[in-house]
Structures are given as structure tokens and as C-alpha cells.
Structure 1
Amino acid sequence: MRAVVFDLDGVLVDSEQQWDEVRRSVVAEHGGTWQDEATRALQGMSTPEWSAYLVEELGTALTPDEVAEKVVGEMGRRYSEGPPVLPGAVEAVRSVAEHFPVAIASSSPPTLIEHLLEATGLTEHVPVVVSSEQVAAGKPAPDVYLEAASRLDVPPGECAAVEDSDSGLRAALAAGMTVYAVPNPHYPPDEQVVARASVVLDRIGDLPAALGL
């Protein structure tokens, strides 16, 4: 293994519930109807994908661009008050970055990723950041992981991926990476998908030891 690629939401920040809450609010305020399957369907989608879903599938009476502006704007406001960083996440990234090149491959828009890195002092430790907005398809497609590996100049098969969600795990597996699963307790991924991970961790703080650091 020559590099480590981290997901963001659910791995480094406890934000999946906030994304869900904000999207539900925008849908409700603009004439849409939330559906039970929407939360899991949206996980891993890029901003263009989930904003279109809120309009086309849930009936939100806005354009996809307007939906994205409202949701990302509210998430940015919440992050400005202090991103919900998971315990041990910053220390884990710093520890790993002392030994391996590190990247983030996330479904979050670039502005939120950059804000998190700045707020946590991790910018200098993470030289490669890829948002699914910058590739053809969001997770569970492998595109964002393949792009991260390409920018690191490391073959995907020589990268470890750290993921928490069903769609994220599927994306990392499809990219051919060695997968370290940290299952999201709020939205547990499919057990059969988790079983395909090489290592399953209880918390992100356990990652350095799992990597033998």
C-alpha cells in the first residue's frame, strides 16, 4: 500500500444527519414530498445528481441549481459555526499523512471540503482533494476514487480507501482499492458490502493502528 484516500462525510465529520436534515427542510419548504428511500439514495451522489433528484423525484418546486444553492449554503453556514469533526479524525489523518500520501475523495462540494481542511488545520496534510462534482459520476461509481489515485500518481490497487456508507464502500471496492470500513452508526451500510472490506473499524481513531502505524 502506497497511499490512503479518505471519504469525508461520515468518516471525518459527523455530517450525514445534517445533510439529511437540510435537504428535508428544503424539500418541505418548496412543495416537495420526502420519500423513505431518499436518504440512502442520496448518499454518495454528486451535487448535480442529488439536486436533480430533489426536483425530479421529490417534487421540489425549484431548479436543481436553486436547490443546490440553498442546501450547500445552509451547510456552509453550519460549518462556519464549527464543522462536526468526529473524535480522533484529525489525529488519524495527521498520523497517516506522516507515512503515506493522503487524499480526500468526497461527495461534498469543493467549498465545504476546503472549509473543513482549513478549520481543522489539515490543508497541508492533504495534498489531493477530489469532489464528485469534478468527475463524471458520484458514488457508488468509482470515478472519484480513481481520480484521487490518478492525482496521487498511485495505482488504485495500491491505495487504501476509508469509507462509512453503502455507496462509498461500493465505490471504493469498484475502484479496486483496499477498503477500511468505519460503518456509519446512523445509516448502517449493507452487511454484505461491509463484509467485502479488508478491515472493519469501530471508529476512525483506530485507523493508524490498523495500518500498523
Structure 2
Amino acid sequence: MYKLTTPQGSHSVSAILFDKDGTLLQFVSLWGSWGDCLLNQFTENLEQRGITIPVEHFPTWLGTVHNRQGNITDYDRNGPLAMGTMEDLYAILSWQSYRLGLSWAESMELVHRCRQNAEAMMEERQPVLPLPGLLSFLDECKSHGVPLAVVTADETGAAEKHLGWLGIRQYFSEVIGTDQVTQGKPFPDMVKLACQRLAVDPSTVAVIGDTNGDMRMAKMAHATVAIGISATSDVNTALNILPDADFIIHSFVELGIEGIHQ
């Protein structure tokens, strides 16, 4: 067992499970770039068909916040972009183009082309940045031999790639994407699968994430502690976003880990 120290006290844990987007890597650095490309491709293709979409409609589709230029600057931590699967997001856009007059087949073909362009952009730019204090905390965990895993709403292959871009894949014994389970977040399936592969009991692990779906997943799996991570310094805002967190941190600098000698 290991002692995970936090500003609110310490917890005995056998492993730590991390969400990926918004927890290990800065969400907007990756998915803001992807979303901007996807939405731009989507609207350009529709405009070629004589269909114009007001920019103010974008936030309601994927749960995003845009600046005056229409670029993504933030996101709803409990919205589709943060919590949905890739197939959820593509289905949302397909539905929107269907509502605007395209056939369902045309809608799916359009979104597929936009998806390919967005993925090509991501491969070229690899727009990922770690959260503050993450690398030092992962090094600390590694030095003590703490089993670590990733449990993400993303697909496993994409998650492996993003962790590789960030240079941190080697820290994690397991990477569990939503494609490996029957039910994704907020259901406990990913936590249970990760714990099974790590040979630990779910009741002895810590789960760290940036959405309440992560917190609900931890609670449903009976994890020993659900730690929310929030960039906002406003306590009430953080609590509104993460009401089911056992406590909230703002940086990995606030966490420490050490072995328990028995």
C-alpha cells in the first residue's frame, strides 16, 4: 500500500487511476484544436451546399466555449466534448446536418470527411500539453512503484497515441478506453477492469479526474477516494462542476506519495 497525501489529509491506496483529458493533459490544447478543425470543416462543407450556420449555435452542439473569433477557449466539464465518446460527437454533428436538410447518408459521409481532416491535423501538430505539476508527480509515483492506470472516455488507441505525444505512456501499466467496456463513464466498468488488470481491489484505489462523470464513476466503483482537479480558483464554481468529489485540487503539486512500510 501507499500513502497518498493531499491538502485534506492522507489516504492509503494500492493504485491510482487517472482520467486523461483535462486531468493528464490540458483539455483545450488537444480538443480545442480538434474541435476548431472539425467545426470549421463541417461549416465550410455546409456552406458549399448553401447552408449557413450561426456561430452562436456551436456551443450547444459539443458543450464548448468560444471567443469572438469562434475559436474554442473552454468547455463544459460535464458536456458532450468532455464526457461523450467519439461516436457520440460524430452522431451529434450528423444529426445537426440532417436537421439542416441533408440525408442521413450524406450527413454521415460529411462528418466522416471532417473527422479524417481533423485527425490528420492532430497527427501533424500533436497539440498536447501536461497539466501543471503532473510530470513531477508521475516521477514520484514511479520512484515508489505505485501502479498507475488511465481510464478515459476516449478510445484506447487514441489515448495511447496522446499519451505517447505527451511522453508519459511509460508511467501507466494499463490504458482503458471506453471501447473496452460495455458502459463508459459515469458507470464503474473502466475502474473495475483497470483494477482487475492491476490485481487490486477497487475499494483501495484513488481516482483523479476533472468531470463529475469521473467522480460518479469512482463512487459507483466504491473507490477509496475521488479527487477532482479544477483549474478554477473559485470554490463555488469548482464545487458546482464536481459536486461528487471527495475533495478538489488545482494542481498535482498539491499531491504527494510515499510507500507504507509494513
Please give the TM-score of this superposition, normalised by the length of structure 2: 0.66
CA shift for structure 1 position 122: 2.6
Is the 2:148–2:172 contact (alpha carbons within 8 Å) kept by the matching residues of 1? yes
Instruction: Note the 1:40-55 alignment, pairs <5 A.
Output: 40-55=79-94
CA shift for structure 1 position 92: 1.4
CA shift for structure 1 position 152: 1.4
Partner of 1:101: 147
Task: Report SS of the residue matched to 2:87.
Answer: helix
2:89 aligned with 1:89? no
Partner of 1:151: 197
Is the 1:28–1:34 contact (alpha carbons within 8 Å) kept by the matching residues of 2? no
Evaluate the alpha carbon distance shift between residue 192 and residue 175 of structure 1 in structure 2; reply closer, same or farther with a 3 A threshold: farther
2:125 aligned with 1:78? yes
Q: Deviations over 1:103-135 (max 9, x none)?
A: 011123334422343344433321111111222
Evaluate the alpha carbon distance shift between residue 140 and residue 78 of structure 1 in structure 2; reply closer, same or farther with a 3 A threshold: farther
Evaluate the alpha carbon distance shift between residue 156 and residue 62 of structure 1 in structure 2; reply closer, same or farther with a 3 A threshold: same
Question: Which residue, 239, 252, 255 being the options, matches 1:204?
Answer: 252
CA RMSD of aligned residues (A): 2.9
Instruction: Note the 1:127-142 alignment, pairs <5 A.
Output: 127-142=173-188
Please give the TM-score of this superposition, normalised by the length of structure 1: 0.79
2:37 aligned with 1:25? no
Q: Considering only CA atoms, is the larger Rg found in Structure 1 or Structure 2?
A: 2
CA shift for structure 1 position 88: 1.6
Task: Report SS of the residue matched to 2:97.
Answer: coil
CA shift for structure 1 position 50: 2.3
For structure 2, the 5+ residue unaligned runs are: 1-12, 47-52, 64-78, 99-106
CA distance in structure 1 between the partners assigned to 2:202 and 2:91 by the alignment: 30
Greater percentage in strand: 2
Evaluate the alpha carbon distance shift between residue 160 and residue 43 of structure 1 in structure 2; reply closer, same or farther with a 3 A threshold: same
